[in-house]
A and B are shown apart, each in its own frame.
Chain A
Amino acid sequence: MTLTSPIDRRNLLRGAALASGGMALAPLFPAWAKSGSHGLHSLAGQPGVLSGDNIEVSVGQSAFRLGKKTGHAYTINGTLPGPLIRLREGQNVKLVVRNTLDEDTSVHWHGMLLPFHMDGVPGVSYPGIGPGESFTYEFPMKQHGTYWYHSHSHMQEAMGMYGALIVDPVGKDPIAYDREHVLVLSDWSFAHAHVNFTKQKQKAGYFNKRKQTFAGLAKGEDQPLSERMMWGQMLMDPTDIADVTGAYYHYLINGHDSMGNWTGIFKPGERVRLRIINAAAMSNFNIRVPGLPMTIVAADGLPLSPVETDEFQIAVAETWDVVIEPKEAIPIAFIAESIDRSGQCRATLAPQMGMVAPIPPLRGRPLLTMKDMGMDHGSGGGDMAGMDHSKMTPEEMAAMDSAMGKMDHGSMNMRDPSVAPQVKMGPGVASLAPMPMDRNKERPTGLEKVPHRVLTLSQLRALEPNPDQRIPSREIDVHLTANMERYMWSMDGEKYSEKTEPLPFRHNERVRVNLINHTMMPHPIHLHGHFFEVVNGQKGQYPRKNVVNVLPGAKVTFDFTADAMGDWAFHCHMLMHMHAGMFRVVTVRHEEEGQ
């Protein structure tokens, strides 16, 4: 296929019209994200698919319509999602971003290996793009795979400013497929992202409309009274799984909700590659294609040894490539379900338009467990994956009760500073996990009991041997800390606003980083400008990622080679967590430099 389409002038004009005339009504989906797509091969040269060496896009405001409601969106070329940028490994690209907003903006090329000043993070890589200004990014494509791009300013990403970035390999694709579809997942709120953030600050648990109630207790639902008392004593809420929930979010696939039913076409017998990008602000999703196994073939852009599974969790900002092989001419549902199961989005894959895959009922709301506090009393690492968290044996419960009984809130059991001496203790650190553990072999939150296969982090194995297999010369801990009641999020107990000093690395130094989650929320931690190897037991072929989801109460270790000079952002990709302060700058320098 040819990938040399000119700049999409129509979209550019639309962007200009928006800039001058304020908001236009009901923007169209970009062609690539329209329902009824025959796949990427059919889209080359279509409006909304941008390729070539010179690409220009425009950032503006648009009215985004969903069902009967219209909301205010930040868009790239006037569409939500933004245009699909399709490039080729080895090419140089010049990307001009014009800002027609009356506020600053930025575009970050998520997962791309590029010079630091092209990374697009205001205050770290560059000053951002002011109102009416343009910025020209220029960098070579040093990799191939499924990536994306998004604003790194003012939570504009939460309001629609994201799109897919696909890089084709220069040689043969290590992943064999007959057809490919891009699925951009997101969470849409009709309220402004800053309003939502303020609500979180004003009232903890504001968006959670499925808290435990007396009515539930009377019906025998959720935790029994004794456990509720125990959690209440610790001021922990086991239903606090997603900060913002389906009660407020509309979950989207390529800008369509379940009713919009984005549909991708396939022919029975084809190997269909799904490039799945989680562009959501705050939502991790459970992904499944009921009735068909999925073969996981790539994560965060890089190929993996294929693993077959039935369900997996995609954290915010991750990209996953999966291959499915539908044999029959029937519609297949693609389900992205928020991990707290407060909502979901259905797309359809079908042999022809007009076929609609059924929407499965939402499964029951999961509950967090003691393990999510990093104080598990279970049976030990190896067996954890199969362990049924919510149905503990009476002995286990007794052990837990006894431990809890002896635990006096005031005695700092859940806040013993000696477990993490480098954490700056203060009101922003409500708890420290007494025993954070390796949960790589465990199924992620809520999928412990589903009656089919679920992908675990330990199953991921890079297709190629890791390029740098040196033993790390040093090791650092990064503690993920929070006070959920005050909605404070930080690293090592300090918000970025309190700790702007960077984490320093020597150029080409190999370092081990331990991410330790002391909070009851998962944190998809993203390192800019690098891939890291997640230390998951697949030695020599560790999966190479740029986002790793750290489960509550868990410790995740990655090794990385600090081979990209300059300053880089390093943060939780849950946008509100980042906005609240869970963010650091990582700097890579020659030893003697800048001291």
Chain B
Amino acid sequence: MNYSLLLPVAALFAAPAFAQSSHQGHDMPAEKAEPSASPPASDPHAGHDMSAADEPVTEQPALEAADPHAGHDMSAGEAETEDVGNVPAPAPPSDHAADAIFGSDVMARSRKELAYEVGGMGYSLVTIDLLEVGFQKGRESYRFEGEAFTGGNINRFGLKFEGEGAFGERIDDLELQALYSRAIAPYWNLQAGVRYDIKPDPSRTYLVAGVEGIAPYWFKVNAAGFVSNKGELRARLEASYDQRITQSLILQPRIEANIAFQNIRAIGVGSGLTDFEAGLRLRYEIEQEIAPYIGVEWRKQTDATARFSRAAGEDPETFSLVAGIRIWF
């Protein structure tokens, strides 16, 4: 934080705060220059007599009681911000007052319930971000992606799932992740767990470590690394943004990039940036929980992965029109 810029401002509002509190004309120690985050080094009022003339003008003086001190003896001891003592706080008692009346067992149970009710409750959320059909040249496909978690504010357990395939064929990809998630910063969760790819064949199991959160400007971000049971290393980065057109109409750009650190020929994955996708979906929230959408998506495999696809007779670049529904509950 740049204090050099804020300091003069702090001094500005610290000054009237002083004046306001000085009705009895006595010295105010400079260290009382609260509530500034960094007290001004030299306070213009420190150590000198603050007369009532310094009192800031109120926006609208009370209709009556023009003199707020009328009929009241303002002795020098009655201060608003100065003179407050610094007696230490007493030690907190180890017992509870109500125990003596209602019994400690009953009250202990009741306190436990209170703590559960006041901050201790958890919750869960199931989100199906994508549930859609896609139309490519000569091909119709489907795709789903979502997550479910349960837990508290800090610790959660969750599942992530995604899959896709073409109608009339066997499913191409089906991936499940079981994750432990821990909040490590106001907007960020650390996640670790296991990923199991049922498809493509042969299936793989990975250990997962990642972060998920909200970046400045409200970008939703998820970055994860995966180590397979065969020692292969992969990574994935996803980001999306919700641009509200109206209260119910939301445009969501969305990107995903997958990276492999070695060729995994058995599943057609090449070293390097394996694939990249960019989508744009426009959803209409009938309810916030239920939002049909339409959109477009472009997906391109690169490098070795693209070569593997071409060799298998597949197009490494696809463009889709998509239609689907987003649901959470």
Contact = CB atoms under 8 A, between A and B. Distances in A.
Contact of A435 (B9, B23, B188): B9
A270 B256 CA distance: 71
B88 interface: yes
B17 to A, nearest CB: 5
Query: Chain B, interface size: which category?
Result: 35 or more
Contacts of A538: 68
B93 to A, nearest CB: 3
A488 interface: yes
A381 interface: yes
Given A203-B288, A540-B69, A427 B183 contact: yes
A446 to B, nearest CB: 16
B187 A539 contact: no
Interface string A310-329: 00000000000000000000
B22 to A, nearest CB: 10
A434 B13 CA distance: 13
Contacts of B63: 306-308
Interface string B103-117: 000110111111111
Contacts of B19: 382
Contact of B5 (A212, A306, A406, A594): A406
Contacts of A122: 110, 113-114
Interface string B277-314: 00000000000100000000000000000000000000
Contacts of A268: none
Interface in B83-122: 83-98, 101-102, 106-107, 109-121
Interface in A539-595: 539-541, 555, 565-567, 571, 578-581, 583, 587, 589, 591, 593-595
B97 A116 contact: yes
A90 interface: no
Nearest to B107: A127
B169 interface: no
Interface in B189-203: none
B318 interface: no
Interface string B62-78: 11110011001110011
A151 interface: no
A516 interface: yes
A209 B246 CA distance: 10
B77 A214 contact: no
Interface string A120-143: 001111111000000000000000
A501 B92 contact: yes
Given A123-B115, A541-B68, A541-B72, A461 B62 contact: yes
A92 B89 CA distance: 35
A459 interface: yes
B229 interface: no
Interface in A255-299: none
Interface string B1-28: 1100110011011011101110100000
A-B pairs, top 7 by smallest CB distance, nearest first, are: A382-B56, A123-B114, A581-B119, A495-B119, A594-B93, A497-B119, A381-B16
Interface of A: 104, 116-117, 122-128, 153-154, 198, 201-203, 206, 209-215, 229, 232-235, 305-309, 375-377, 379-386, 402-403, 406-407, 409, 411-413, 415-416, 418-419, 426-431, 434-438, 441, 443, 453, 456, 458-459, 461, 465, 469, 471-476, 483, 485-486, 488, 490, 495-498, 500-506, 512, 514, 516, 535, 537-541, 555, 565-567, 571, 578-581, 583, 587, 589, 591, 593-595
25 contacts: A116-B97, A122-B113, A123-B112, A123-B114, A153-B117, A213-B247, A305-B64, A382-B57, A406-B5, A426-B154, A427-B183, A427-B184, A441-B59, A461-B68, A474-B87, A475-B84, A506-B90, A514-B35, A538-B68, A539-B74, A578-B118, A580-B118, A583-B119, A587-B93, A593-B93
